[in-house]
Amino acid sequence: MLSVVIPSYNEENLIKNTAGTLKKVLTRADIDYELVFVNDGSSDNTQQRIEDLSDNDPKIRFVCFSRNFGKEAAIFAGLAAAKGECVAVMDCDLQHPPATLVEMYGEWRKGYEVVEGVKRSRGEESGAHRFSAGTFYRLMSKATGMDMSRASDFKLLDRKAVDALLSFPEYHVFFRALSSLVGFKKTSVDFDVAERTEGESKWSTASLIKYALNNIVEYSAFPLHIVTWAGVFTLIVSVFLGIETLVRYFLGNSAEGFTTVILLQLFTGSIIMIGIGILGFYLSKVYDEVKRRPRYIISKMN
Ligand code: UDP
Ligand code: MG
């Protein structure tokens, strides 16, 4: 059986259509399936819409969060609830085409254990969104050593890979990166990102930047090394400047006093504070992890 995990946050107008489309496509392809909607603490009638469907159809299941925990938590709750031998994750807005899901299932039948959906095109996006997403993926690819530029959350995983993912204990999970970390026999399927049929993307540029910074810090120690290298750089500059200053002093024409001191104070002060800031950011992540709080809290499920 194929389980399809669908994180949904304020998608009341989409649930019925998404479930209907998936049902049609999967039935036509003769695939035994279940749909697992994860209501990520929606403030609209999403839960009501899901229950309307699941009351009449045992193939439709749901997990309902006690509040909004974010898409990553929703994906993991869905993976934990899924019962199939293979589990796919897709967006509720059908930006991940159901036809591609059938193709992915075919790859799984051929023996692949991780089937990744790779974006052929990014669909309609605003300039700012495209720029921030582009920058994020360049940094993220550098930081983690994986090509993430066309990665998406649209994936189909074998039971073995799902169990491996669920065994990751960290509080901050990032599905896209972790599913490349688990290994297994992997392949990818290209897809074109469709346009959102209803409503708006829940990502503002500010939230994307925050998301990017968090993920970079959680999956890479690279920024910490930047601090060290900035220190090495200023050390080299100080040696040269120091020698120059001493030579000038002994020759009797030393540098202008206050201007030099002010400039140096400002420069080293900023470098030190940025360094402490980066350390602090890592420390806050470590703090989040050691608290061992649950990733999500379920208020209802079937
Ligand atoms: N989503 C979620 N929790 C959130 C934000 C989004 O479960 O806090 C879901 C949303 O319902 C959708 C998917 O994640 O199914 C992708 O969201 P969206 O379409 O807003 O993002 P985009 O397609 O622009 O990446
Ligand atoms: Mg979307």
Domain-by-domain residue ranges, the chain? 2-128+145-202, 222-290
Cα–Cα dist 220/133, whole Å: 18
State whether the beta carbon of 92 lies less than 6 angstroms from ligand 1.
yes
199-210 pLDDT, tens per residue? 677 677 777 778
State whether the beta carbon of 93 lies less than 6 angstroms from ligand 1.
yes
Pocket test for ligand 1, best of 18, 91, 195, 205 (most atoms within 8 A of CB): 91
Q: What's residue 39's pLDDT?
A: 93
pLDDT (mean) for 5-22? 90
Please determine, for residue 164, whether its predicted confidence score (pLDDT) is greater than 70: yes
The CATH superfamily assigned to 2-128+145-202 is Spore Coat Polysaccharide Biosynthesis Protein SpsA; Chain A (3.90.550.10)
Pocket test for ligand 1, best of 4, 9, 136 (most atoms within 8 A of CB): 9
Ligand with an atom nearest the CA of residue 7: 1
pTM for the model stands at 0.79
pLDDT (mean) for 292-302? 90
Residue with more model confidence, 278 or 148? 278
Q: What's residue 143's pLDDT?
A: 66
Q: What's residue 125's pLDDT?
A: 62
Do residues 92 and 162 make contact, with C-beta atoms less than 8 angstroms apart?
no
State whether the beta carbon of 202 lies less than 6 angstroms from ligand 1.
yes
State whether the beta carbon of 9 lies less than 6 angstroms from ligand 1.
yes
CB count, 10 Å around CB of 78? 27
217-274 pLDDT, tens per residue? 887 888 888 889 989 998 999 899 889 888 888 888 876 778 888 888 998 899 899 9
State whether the beta carbon of 201 lies less than 6 angstroms from ligand 1.
yes
279-288 pLDDT, tens per residue? 999 999 999 8
Cα–Cα dist 114/107, whole Å: 9
84-124 pLDDT, tens per residue? 899 999 998 888 888 889 999 999 999 899 998 888 766 56
Q: What's residue 83's pLDDT?
A: 92
Please determine, for residue 293, whether its predicted confidence score (pLDDT) is greater than 70: yes
User: Burial letters for 223-238: b for 16+ Cβ neighbours within 10 Å, e otherwise?
Assistant: beeebeeeeeebeeee
The alpha carbon dihedral of 150, 155, 160, 162 has a sign of: positive
State whether the beta carbon of 203 lies less than 6 angstroms from ligand 1.
yes
15-37 pLDDT, tens per residue? 888 998 999 898 988 889 999 99
116-159 pLDDT, tens per residue? 888 876 656 667 667 767 777 777 777 666 667 777 889 999 99
Do residues 225 and 262 make contact, with C-beta atoms less than 8 angstroms apart?
no
In the reported structure, the alpha carbon of residue 35 is separated from the centroid of ligand 1 by a whole-number distance in angstroms of 17
196 HSE (CA, 13 A, CB side): 13
Our measurement of the distance from residue 135's CA atom to the centroid of its chain's CA atoms, rounded to an integer in Å, reads 14
174-197 pLDDT, tens per residue? 888 887 788 888 888 888 887 777
Q: What's residue 192's pLDDT?
A: 84
